[in-house]
């Protein structure tokens, strides 16, 4: 049973056939009574010839068929009035869930030794099946993400190395004119990092836009995780700095006369 947001909950007196009371969820109240208070109003779902049900409370929306579903209208009737042999008991506990399960199982058996208990499990165990498709999708997407980062790192290193290597003649000229090797190396690294920062900025904008497509398959975490973005930016920035530094370091160690003849 959902926790009532407003109105009242079912009581022991709601057990008569004529007690036609119900609790609806927020989506139900919003769709059938837009801009109005739903409590005290009546509705019917069995046809015009059947008696109406009075709304006594509004409960929070829930997930009824799948975790990724859109909010659906739902209502609840008192168990004492419309008895069902299959009942689900949900308990919030502190500490070890398995210990609590054993305690609850023992208490149920004490109340009724003939009562059949089945599918007794923790919330984590209960969610294994519903979350399996999302976990598989997350694993596949995560694998592709790691591969994309590796390829991006290799691509950044290759491009930056090629650009710096193509400036060997320029480096030779600067050294021949008296520039310090350290200053030349620092200049090349700064220029390489400037290009890398521009690329990271464009990539972040596109990544923020793409994360909106993943929001529906994520639970408990944000699609825009600051730590993930920070780690990826740090990784690619480090690769860009390294790919600028190593070729520049090699080029500045070459004799200026040799560098000037470099093709």
Q: CB–CB of 81/15 below 8 Å? A: yes
Q: Is the pLDDT of residue 257 over 80?
A: no
* pLDDT tens-digit readout, 17-68: 777 889 999 999 999 999 889 999 989 887 777 788 899 999 988 887 777 6
For residues 153 and 157, give the distance between their C-alpha atoms in angstroms, rounded to a whole number: 6
* Token duo for residue 3: 């926790």
Cα-based angle 114, 115, 116 (whole degrees, multiple of 5): 115
For CA atoms 250, 254, 260, 261, the dihedral sign is negative
pLDDT value at residue 27 = 92
Buried-state track 231-255, b at ≥16 Cβ within 10 A, e below 16? ebbeebeebbbbbbbebbeebbeee
Exposed (0-12), middle (13-18) or buried (19+): which is 63, by Cβ within 10 Å?
A: exposed
CB-count exposure of residue 55 (10 Å: 0-12, 13-18, 19+): buried
Predicted structure pTM score: 0.53
DSSP helix, strand, coil percent of the chain (3-state; round to 5): 55, 10, 40
Least confident of 80-89, 100-109, 111-120, 131-140: 80-89
d(CA 134, CA 63): 15
Q: What is the pLDDT of residues 132-190, one digit of tens each?
A: 887 888 788 789 888 988 888 788 778 877 877 777 777 778 877 888 888 888 888 88
Residue 262 has what pLDDT?
A: 54
């Amino acid at each position: 049973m959902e926790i009532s947001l407003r109105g009242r909950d079912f009581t022991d007196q709601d057990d008569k056939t004529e007690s036609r009371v119900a609790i609806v969820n927020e989506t139900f109240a919003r769709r059938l009574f837009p801009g109005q208070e739903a409590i005290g109003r009546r509705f019917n779902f069995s046809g015009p010839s059947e008696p109406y049900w009075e709304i006594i409370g509004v409960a929070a929306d829930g997930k009824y068929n799948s975790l990724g579903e859109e909010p659906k209208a739902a209502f609840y009737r008192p168990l004492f009035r419309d008895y069902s042999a299959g009942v689900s008991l949900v308990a919030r506990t502190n500490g070890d869930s398995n210990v609590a399960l054993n305690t609850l199982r023992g208490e149920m058996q004490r109340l009724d030794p003939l009562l059949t208990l089945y599918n007794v499990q923790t919330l984590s165990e209960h969610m294994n099946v519903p979350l399996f498709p999302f976990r598989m999708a997350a694993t596949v997407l995560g694998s592709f993400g790691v591969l994309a980062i590796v390829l991006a790192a290799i691509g950044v290193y290759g491009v930056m190395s090629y650009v710096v290597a193509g400036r060997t003649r320029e480096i030779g000229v600067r050294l021949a004119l008296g520039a310090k090797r350290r200053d030349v190396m620092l200049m090349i690294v700064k220029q390489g990092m400037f290009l890398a920062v521009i690329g990271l900025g464009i990539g972040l904008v596109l990544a923020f836009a793409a994360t909106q497509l993943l929001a529906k398959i994520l639970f408990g975490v944000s699609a825009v995780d600051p730590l993930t973005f920070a780690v990826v930016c740090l990784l690619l920035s480090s690769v860009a700095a390294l790919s600028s530094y190593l070729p520049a370091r090699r080029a500045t160690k070459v004799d200026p006369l040799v560098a000037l003849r470099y093709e």
